Structure 1
Amino acid sequence: MLHPKPMALLLAGLVALAPLSAQAEKSRRLSVTGEASKEVVPDTAVISLGVRAQSDEAGEAMELVSVSMNEVMASLQDSGIAGDDIQTQQISMHPVWSEIRRDGAYEQTITGFEASNIVMVTLDDLGTMGGVLDDVLRAGANEFRGISFSYSEQDAAEDDLRSAAVEDAIDKARQLAAAAGMELGLVRQIQDGAADGGGGRMMATEMARSSDMPIAPGAITLRHSVSMIFDLKKPSKPK
């Protein structure tokens, strides 16, 4: 029969071992990152373009921009672009400063005003892009901020990539566990990484008056990643 004091010591020892055992189990875990990527052909473009004009008077500069912008908007609508696909991005007005020599010294003075109106145009038919750009140039557009390309089915593609990234993480974890002489246990954590849509592709340049501007959208690489934590366990004994 155990005396009360040794029994208390035994129980205390078992309680002390419990956290150590849990800590040991937690230390036998494996963290991996799974990745997946896919190249897609973009089918949508967003073009940033507009009109810029200068004049001695602010009101006249804005009037020049408004007249030309109305022509540009009419050209876009004639090309079959819906009103919902045309959005004003920026309207600005600022003074034009020049350096003038006066009484033997140079001083900064306002010599005019510059106004601009920039719109974003969404195109669902990339085959018409060159013609649309050529038309708005003829209509009076003289500023081109750039083109960004995207893929309309990106959400569905990212769902597939997410699943592929999980499979990649599991394959890596199994390989690492086997190399370490262990077996893969339960999944303890899954963390979805940020999707990378390739950043679109932005090309910015001043517009040049040319006929049917050639545009090459190329391809967009979509990427997705997930981080997973697995338990590691000792190999099962052979029967």
Structure 2
Amino acid sequence: MRPVAFALPLILAACQPAAPDPRGVDRDETLLTVSATGRSEARPDEATFIAGVESLAGSAAEATRLNNEKMARVSVALAKFGVGQDDLQTQNLSLGRVDYGPDRGKYKASNNLTVRMRQMERVGEAVAATTDAGANLISGPSLRVSDREAASRSAYAMAYKAARARAEAYAGAAGLKIDRILAIRDGGASQGEPIPLAEQAMSVQMAAPVVAPAPPPPPFNPGVNVSHVSVRVDFALKR
């Protein structure tokens, strides 16, 4: 009789239904997958533009000297707007002889800096100051939100709420209700930022200085940046 006593619990365990997989639907549930998007707006708090200096001279040494002096003046001018050394990044250094056109035989030196500014209300003023200091190649600006994750949080919530509302509409139409959430998949975010620098670049060639009243700084409006996020949610529906 002792062998029978051990076999009985095994037989009873085999007859019990298996525990449902928490990642899947039960037999009395219906799977519904919904995709939705969310949108948020944030005012950019960083501006990036390129300030370049280009110099011509009869020798390579003279062209380099003139260019270095101008770039030093540009850096000093930007420092007045809170732009430190960590906010300046050299993008291009070049020196070469001109072999064509009216400047043939001269040497051209150029230096381009990427400038990052956090005083958004003074970007236009800073651009004007760099040209006054000797910059003759200006492009940008590109505007961004420094904390993109924080800027997108409201979009995440909006995306999930939209998915939930859509699932409830489907469930109601089918005579069902949402029983539980099986999975939430982040579809990533896209930042609706201004046109990249390379696509909106403009070149300002500085002519001989003319005695005239200083013009006002160029108008600058940061506007807002738009973030789009997407989410996919698996719902389990039941009656």
TM-score, normalised to structure 1's length? Answer: 0.72
**Quick check: 2:37–2:228 contact (8 Å CA) kept in 1?**
yes
RMSD: 3.0
3-state SS of 1:195 partner: strand
**Residue 134 of structure 1, CA deviation:** 1.1
The structure-2 alpha-carbon separation of the partners of 1:175 and 1:70, relative to structure 1 and needing over 3 Å to count, comes to: same
**Residue 94 of structure 1, CA deviation:** 5.0
What residue in structure 2 maps to residue 29 of structure 1?
A: 31
What residue in structure 1 maps to residue 76 of structure 2?
A: 74
**Quick check: 1:49–1:146 contact (8 Å CA) kept in 2?**
no
* Runs of at least 5 residues in structure 1 that lack an aligned partner in the other structure: 1-21, 100-109
Q: State which of 139, 149, 154 in structure 2 corresponds to 1:160.
A: 154
**Quick check: 1:89–1:118 contact (8 Å CA) kept in 2?**
yes
Measure the CA separation in 1 of the matches of 2:99 and 2:231: 53
Measure the CA separation in 1 of the matches of 2:28 and 2:201: 52
* Runs of at least 5 residues in structure 2 that lack an aligned partner in the other structure: 1-23, 207-214
TM-score, normalised to structure 2's length? Answer: 0.72
**Quick check: 2:181–2:233 contact (8 Å CA) kept in 1?**
yes
Measure the CA separation in 1 of the matches of 2:194 and 2:233: 28
Q: State which of 158, 171, 177 in structure 2 corresponds to 1:183.
A: 177
1:25-47 deviation per Cα after TM superposition (whole angstroms, max 9, x unaligned): 59942221121112222222112
The structure-2 alpha-carbon separation of the partners of 1:112 and 1:189, relative to structure 1 and needing over 3 Å to count, comes to: farther
Runs of 4+ in 1 over 6 A off after TM superposition: none
3-state SS of 1:178 partner: helix
**Residue 126 of structure 1, CA deviation:** 1.4
1:145-172 deviation per Cα after TM superposition (whole angstroms, max 9, x unaligned): 2111122443222223212211211111
2:228 counterpart of 1:230: no
The structure-2 alpha-carbon separation of the partners of 1:95 and 1:176, relative to structure 1 and needing over 3 Å to count, comes to: farther
Measure the CA separation in 2 of the matches of 1:97 and 1:174: 72
**Residue 139 of structure 1, CA deviation:** 0.6
The structure-2 alpha-carbon separation of the partners of 1:225 and 1:23, relative to structure 1 and needing over 3 Å to count, comes to: closer
